[in-house]
Amino acid sequence: MIPAKEFEGELWIKAADFHMQKKEWQGLTDDEIKKLHHIIDWTNAHTYVNFARAIEAKLKEKNNA
């Protein structure tokens, strides 16, 4: 439990007493990249942008969960 101190009727904690658990970065596996590769329409002029956006979305999904 984090020790809190009362100050003017509110409970406060010191930042030094608050230890956030650091989450390790999650990258994509080769299989995840291959799955994304297959959902992209490679005949589209914006193919690489779409592929990059798909990778970006997958990384956000994995790392914000």
Is 13 inside any structural domain?
no
| Residue whose tokens read 């193919």 | 47
CA nearest to 13, candidates 21, 31, 23, 1: 1
pTM for this one? 0.56
- Whole-number pLDDT of residue 23: 77
Residue pair 37/51 in contact by the 8 Å Cβ criterion: yes
Is 12 inside any structural domain?
no
Q: What integer best gives the mean pLDDT of the chain?
A: 80
Q: How many domains does the chain have?
A: 1
* pLDDT tens, residue by residue, 16-32: 655 666 778 899 999 99
Instruction: Pick the more confident residue, 58 or 46.
Output: 58
Range of the domain at 53: 24-65
* Mean pLDDT across 40-55: 85
Judged against a pLDDT cut of 60, whether residue 12 lies above it is answered with yes
* Amino acid, single-letter form, for residue 42: W
Is 2 inside any structural domain?
no
Is 4 inside any structural domain?
no
